[in-house]
């Protein structure tokens, strides 16, 4: 039996991230006594989990309303946000009532933004159901939706009351999604906790999926994880370590000065891929390529050794994640990068490494260096 691990996030409004198994009863028990109503935001594939949580909440005497939203990034739109507001308004939600986000990163982003904007802020409890959401989207208080101009350009910082990472739900995920989520775990290893990298390197065969190389596309299919105890134990350790990295960073910097920006390692180029691909790539796959791009840029800038760049490629490709991107899309990618939240005016800014565990900011690099880094990760094949 796996013992739950509790990771405190010591922000101005402290909360705890719990990593364990079979946590839905704890989720229901964590709803504040002051609440009379709960809005559960989720997507159709999780209907059985929503029904189970619905019963547990009703047993506490709470009025439960469910907002079923489109799955994945299709749910992070202004239209879906307005739908959730309408549900809240028709159900007479007050400032003491709460929102629960049960789903992947898109659902937790949306639910957090719904909570941040209703009556200028109500409580939110996050129940991430993907590895990516557990280690990234659900922790840290960043919420938002996408627009036609880019990803997460509209949002708010709104810290949750608690976060519950139930590793048993990972059994239902396609192995592609497990592997994609591991990209954010590996990111935490590169920026702060090298032990994560060593654990991954020692368990590549256990963690990767045999068909994961085809898993960049968000609409790809694959077998479900069906984790054995050894894999679950390794993943639980990695989730705990990755959450700890994020907890340490956001506790010191909630609203994204440079310290918080280190969590975006690989994301400037990764988000550009997502935008260029119209969000048809998995986030983790795009970030994987983005980290290799950032490593190549750091090497060209004299900050990272060739061996350290190769370690990026070895770990990420060893998991089955992509490490290259077609070489004929530079103009579209550059336009997308100029929309990145870290950009100031026309000045591109990147998080790079000056050695493993030492992230630094690279502002306004020579355009020739940026294009050379792109050339280094280009495969010149159709997407």
Give the number of other Cβ atoms within 10 Å of residue 167's Cβ: 22
Tell me phi and psi for residue 213, to 5 degrees.
-60, -20
Distances (CA, A) of 309 to 157, 190, 200, 230: 33, 11, 16, 29
Binding residue per annotation — 215?
A: no
User: Which one of 54, 158, 187, 283 is the catalytic residue?
Assistant: 283
Helix (H) or strand (E) holding 71: none
User: Which one of 264, 282, 299, 312 is the catalytic residue?
Assistant: 264
For the question of residue 264 being annotated catalytic, the response is yes
Binding residue per annotation — 201?
A: no
For the question of residue 358 being annotated catalytic, the response is no
User: Which one of 37, 54, 176, 246 is the catalytic residue?
Assistant: 246
Binding residue per annotation — 151?
A: yes
Binding residue per annotation — 72?
A: yes
The conformation of residue 11, written as its DSSP 8-state character, comes to S
For the question of residue 380 being annotated catalytic, the response is no
Binding residue per annotation — 342?
A: no
User: Which one of 120, 229, 255, 278 is the catalytic residue?
Assistant: 120
User: Which one of 37, 208, 271, 299 is the catalytic residue?
Assistant: 271
Helix (H) or strand (E) holding 176: helix 175-191
User: Which one of 68, 201, 237, 256 is the catalytic residue?
Assistant: 256
Binding residue per annotation — 105?
A: yes
For the question of residue 246 being annotated catalytic, the response is yes
For the question of residue 256 being annotated catalytic, the response is yes
User: Which one of 260, 299, 312, 342 is the catalytic residue?
Assistant: 260
For the question of residue 192 being annotated catalytic, the response is no
Binding residue per annotation — 129?
A: yes
Cα–Cα nearest to 180, from 212, 146, 228, 137: 212
Cα–Cα nearest to 94, from 51, 36, 55: 36
- End-to-end CA, the chain: 44
For the question of residue 271 being annotated catalytic, the response is yes
Q: Angle at the Cα of 172 (from 273 to 152), degrees rounded to 5?
A: 30
For the question of residue 267 being annotated catalytic, the response is yes
User: Which residues are part of a known binding site for Zn(2+)?
Assistant: 184, 267, 283
List active site positions: 120, 142, 184, 246, 256, 260, 264, 267, 271, 283
Q: Annotated binding residues, as ranges?
A: 71-76, 105-109, 129-130, 142, 151, 184, 267, 283
């Amino acid at each position: 039996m796996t013992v739950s691990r509790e990771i405190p996030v010591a922000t101005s409004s402290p909360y705890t991230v719990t990593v364990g198994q079979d946590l839905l009863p704890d989720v229901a028990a964590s709803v504040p006594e002051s609440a009379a109503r709960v809005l559960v935001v989720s997507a159709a594939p999780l209907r059985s989990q929503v029904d189970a949580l619905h019963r547990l909440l009703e047993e506490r005497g709470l009025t439960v309303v469910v907002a079923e939203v489109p799955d994945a990034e299709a749910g992070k739109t202004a239209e879906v946000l307005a739908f959730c507001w309408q549900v809240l308004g028709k159900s007479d939600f007050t400032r003491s009532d709460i929102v629960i986000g049960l789903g992947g990163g898109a659902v937790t982003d949306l639910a957090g933004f719904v909570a941040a904007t209703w009556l200028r802020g109500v409580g939110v409890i996050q129940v991430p159901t993907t590895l990516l959401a557990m280690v990234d989207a659900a922790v840290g208080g960043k919420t938002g939706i996408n627009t036609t101009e880019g990803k997460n350009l509209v949002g708010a910082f709104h810290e949750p009351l608690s976060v519950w990472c139930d590793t048993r739900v990972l059994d239902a995920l396609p192995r592609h999604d497990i592997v994609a989520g591991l990209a954010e775990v590996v990111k935490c290893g590169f920026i702060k906790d090298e032990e994560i990298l060593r654990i991954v390197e020692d368990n590549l065969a256990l963690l990767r999926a045999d068909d994961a190389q085809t898993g960049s596309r968000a609409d790809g299919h694959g077998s479900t994880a069906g984790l054995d105890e050894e894999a679950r134990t390794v993943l639980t350790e990695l989730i705990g370590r990755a959450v700890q990295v994020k907890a340490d960073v956001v506790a010191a910097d909630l609203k994204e000065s440079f310290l918080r920006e280190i969590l975006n390692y690989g994301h400037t180029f990764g988000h550009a891929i997502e935008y260029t691909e119209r969000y048809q790539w998995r986030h983790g796959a795009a970030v994987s390529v983005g980290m290799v791009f950032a490593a190549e840029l750091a090497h060209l800038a004299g900050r990272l050794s060739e061996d350290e760049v190769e370690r990026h490629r070895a770990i990420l490709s060893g998991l089955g994640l992509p490490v290259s991107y077609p070489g004929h899309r530079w103009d579209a990618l550059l336009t997308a990068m100029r929309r990145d939240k870290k950009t100031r005016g026309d000045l591109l800014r990147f998080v790079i490494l000056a050695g493993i565990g030492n992230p630094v900011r690279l502002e306004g690099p020579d355009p020739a260096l940026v294009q050379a880094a792109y050339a280094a990760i280009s495969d010149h094949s159709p997407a």
